[in-house]
Amino acid sequence: MIKIICTAFVSLLFFVSSAQSKFTTKDSLNSFCDKIMQTIVDGKYSEGIQLFRQKSVMDASVIDNVDKTLNEQMPGILPYYGKMLGYELIEEKALKNALARRKYILKFEFYFLTFDFILYNNNTGWTVSNFYYKDETKELF
């Protein structure tokens, strides 16, 4: 079931439109990513996903579809993964001052999901160009 969720989520997030808002510093964008993860941990999936509407280059209809998918699928995940315990930033990689990826794990009692935020700087500001989650471990080691 998680593979279906991941496939739908990743597929939806590859479509992007023009940015609605930019961050002037990478630190402010990092805080934004942390806020989204904490909102999801708090069980406010819609609120966490909808934060992207204001601050990313993702199309609003894509965000709405992701929101719907996450809210429909999360109740099916929780019985197997257990209670959500929190999140942790496990890696940040940057390519000069143009691209960065922040990788988080969303911790459950019995398993985890990884969330990747892809960040882009066009020299006038930072945006979240994409994000996705998955349950595969091969990229972690």
Kindly state whether residue 48 falls inside one of the protein's structural domains.
yes
DSSP 32-83: HHHHHHHHHHTT-HHHHHHHHHHHBSB-HHHHHHHHHHHHHHHHHHHHHH-S
Kindly state whether residue 141 falls inside one of the protein's structural domains.
no
Kindly state whether residue 23 falls inside one of the protein's structural domains.
yes
Say which residue the tokens 């990743």 belong to: 10
Residue 66 phi, psi (nearest 5): -65, -45
Q: How far apart are CA 133 and CA 104, in angstroms?
A: 9
Per the structure, the complete domain to which residue 109 belongs is given by 2-134
Residue 11 phi, psi (nearest 5): -60, -45
CATH number of the domain residue 58 falls in: 3.10.450
48: tokens are 């966490």
Total tally of structural domains belonging to the chain = 1
Confidence at 11, pLDDT banded by 50, 70, 90: very low
For the whole model, what pTM was predicted?
0.78
Say which residue the tokens 């471990």 belong to: 137
Encode pLDDT of 13-52 as tens digits.
Answer: 443 333 346 788 888 889 999 999 999 999 998 898 888 7
**Helix and strand element counts for the chain (H, E):** 4, 4
Q: Which residues contact 22 (CB under 8 A, 6 or more apart)?
A: 124, 125, 126, 127
Kindly state whether residue 43 falls inside one of the protein's structural domains.
yes
Q: How far apart are CA 3 and CA 15, in angstroms?
A: 20
Kindly state whether residue 99 falls inside one of the protein's structural domains.
yes
Kindly state whether residue 13 falls inside one of the protein's structural domains.
yes
Encode pLDDT of 51-78 as tens digits.
Answer: 877 777 878 888 888 788 888 888 998 9
